[in-house]
Chain A
Amino acid sequence: MKILVVDDFSTMRRIIKNLLRELGFTNVEEADDGATALPMLRGGHYDFLITDWNMPGMTGIDLLKAVRSDPELARLPVLMVTAEAKREQIIMAAQAGVNGYVVKPFTAGTLKEKIEKIFERVA
């Protein structure tokens, strides 16, 4: 299972990476915004994408839209982990095809639950 974590804050990437390791996922790579993430995703054979929303350069929502409109990446499971908590934003992410949405601050339990739910549905 190869996972890409996209967040402009290195602290948050590190935290998510640690949480993923606790869940048994050790093949984790990082990107600091959508513009860096997209070329990594293309041809990188990732199985799962975890992205923040608010990032300089390309935002998470734009990354999500780009992923869904790319035939090779369209089916990639995407979990959004973000401080953006407006109803409209969550609806927008859902309409753009997000598989899960975790609002910061979050607990290890929440992240685990959402990731497991996504894999159940995808499998």
Chain B
Amino acid sequence: MSAFMNPELLAQAEQLLETLRQGDEPAARQALMNLTEARESLLFKEIGSITRDLHDSLRQFSEDSRLDALTAQDMPDARERLRYVTSLTEQAANRTLGAAEQALPLTDNLIRRSQRVTERLTALRELHPGNQALQDALGPVETYLASVNREGEQVRAQLNEIILAQEYQDLTGQLLHRVILLLERLEGEMVKLIRLVGSTGQACAGDPEEATRAEGPALPTAKAGVVQSQDEVDDLLASLGF
């Protein structure tokens, strides 16, 4: 520490050594006392300087409008954005579900009708076994109807897959909800911290829900050792010689 390179201190230390070598006990005691006093005054200066730094930091913290903006605007804004994401994904999932739900019965109809027509064509074949032209003409139609039936079932399966895939909305919604809760907690803690060091008061109006959220009975002892206002911070500093 540069303070100990103080020439005055060095001179006093040398004097102490000298008096000790000479065996001059009263003079040595005096020299030691001078040295201790000088050291103590240095120590007080150091404490004073640290306390002043702390004071400045606290004041800067309380005067930093970015913190107010963070708790009063940015964090609620972030929460809103996340809520909006949840609502957008919900809308998108519902749109997809709506479209798939409408397409499913249409597909069912296609399948059912193609089956009915196939049955009739089979009956027609049986009614006219000797009509070769009819038998030949029915072939491709039956093949087509069979493909409608088969591919219709595949479309059904895919539509159901689309419906099930929408469960992402539930899962992402739950995850986002957790992040929103975390943000609310963080915001509450920051508001408390800002109040503690006495902010402009703007941030205190941040979240009305936070202030009214049930926390159980307040414990009077919980706040011991914690300052409640800038006045208390100032008083504390005053007692330290400010």
Contact = CB atoms under 8 A, between A and B. Distances in A.
Interface in B142-168: 160-161, 163-164, 166-168
B174 A15 contact: no
Nearest to B98: A14
Interface stretch (A3-11, A26-34, A36-44): A3-11
Given A18-B160, A22-B160, A54-B174, A10 B94 contact: yes
B110 interface: no
Contact of B166 (A7, A11, A83): A11
Interface string A80-110: 0001000000000000000000001111100
A53 to B, nearest CB: 10
B90 interface: yes
Nearest to B156: A22
A9 B169 contact: yes
B160 A108 contact: yes
B98 to A, nearest CB: 9
Size bracket of the A interface: 10 to 19
B170 A104 contact: yes
Nearest to A21: B104
Contacts of B173: 9, 11
A110 to B, nearest CB: 10
B5 to A, nearest CB: 62
Given A14-B94, A14-B97, A18-B101, A107 B164 contact: yes
B111 to A, nearest CB: 14
B92 to A, nearest CB: 10
12 contacts: A9-B90, A9-B169, A9-B170, A11-B90, A11-B167, A12-B170, A54-B174, A104-B170, A105-B168, A105-B171, A106-B167, A108-B161
